[in-house]
Amino acid sequence: MSVTILKHALITHKLTNIRKKETNTKDFYHNVNEIASLMAYEITKDFPLKEIEIETPICKTIQYEMKDELVIVPILRAGLGMVDGLRNAIPTAKVGFIGLYRNEKTLEPVEYYAKFPDNIASDDTITLVVDPMLATGGSAIAAIDMIKKRGAKHIRFACLVAAPIGVDSLSKAHPDVDIYVAALDEKLNEVGYIVPGLGDCGDRLFGTK
């Protein structure tokens, strides 16, 4: 397991844009997609490759292509905001979906929707779970629990902004899952928002309240 905090000038610049409270829905969504595309390069840099023989206009040659397939699984609904950006960088990726809500009495996460490509349990598939915010870590942990029950073996998690407690909780619950974070913020406030954060990402992506 590893935790990678991405240090890239373009990512930092675009994160600043989405942190601003005056950023409108269109610009917020556009910047989230661009950040996800930039993150894709770091997330996939160590993906396994396989040899293939091709023929260039000059000669035959042994080159390399991706060995494994990628399945992107956004945690509904905010995770949807990262999907297009990732698929711009990796257009062959398939997409699954998982929706969770918290039972008000038990406080346990409950799955209300799940749909995945057939290859999610394959040894040759890498599953990338995405959610823009990693606050307490509860939703990410529950989603990965549920994806593992479907047979997923090689799982990574990516988010835009994380609180230290969320990274720590996810690392302890799923030590086999590599975590990629665009920015590690200071803390959670008394109502569970990441500080300084960027507000409610779902509402800002889709213009809801």
* Whole-angstrom distance, CA of residue 191 vs CA of residue 97: 27
Q: Tell me which of 191 and 169 has the higher pLDDT.
A: 169
| Active-site residue, selected from the candidate residues 56, 92, 106, 123 | 106
In the predicted model, is pLDDT for residue 116 greater than 80?
yes
At residue 192, the pLDDT reads 85
203 is catalytic: yes
Mean pLDDT of the chain: 94
At residue 171, the pLDDT reads 96
pTM, 2 dp = 0.93
Amino acid type, 66: M
* Whole-angstrom distance, CA of residue 84 vs CA of residue 53: 31
Q: What is the CA radius of gyration of the chain?
A: 18
2-15: pLDDT as tens digits: 999 998 999 999 99
Band (165; pLDDT cuts 50, 70, 90) = very high
Q: Which residues of 158-183 are buried (b: 16+ CB within 10 A; e: fewer)?
A: bbbbbbeebbebbbeebeebbbbbbb
% of the chain residues with pLDDT over 90: 89
| Active-site residue, selected from the candidate residues 4, 77, 84, 200 | 200
Q: Which residues of 29-55 are buried (b: 16+ CB within 10 A; e: fewer)?
A: bbbbbbbbbbbbebbbeeeeeeeeeee
72-110: pLDDT as tens digits: 999 999 999 999 999 999 999 999 999 988 776 776 788
At residue 191, the pLDDT reads 85
Mean pLDDT of 167-181: 96
48-80: pLDDT as tens digits: 999 999 999 999 999 999 999 999 999 999 999
* Whole-angstrom distance, CA of residue 80 vs CA of residue 74: 6
At residue 150, the pLDDT reads 93
In the predicted model, is pLDDT for residue 148 greater than 80?
yes
Q: Closest Cα to residue 84, out of 34, 140, 39?
A: 34
Task: Yes or no: say if 69 and 126 are a contact pair by the CB < 8 Å rule.
Answer: yes
Q: Which tokens in the block code for residue 173?
A: 């619950």
195-204: pLDDT as tens digits: 999 999 999 9
At residue 107, the pLDDT reads 60
102 is catalytic: yes
* Whole-angstrom distance, CA of residue 72 vs CA of residue 147: 12
| Active-site residue, selected from the candidate residues 102, 124, 145, 168 | 102
Mean pLDDT of 14-35: 96
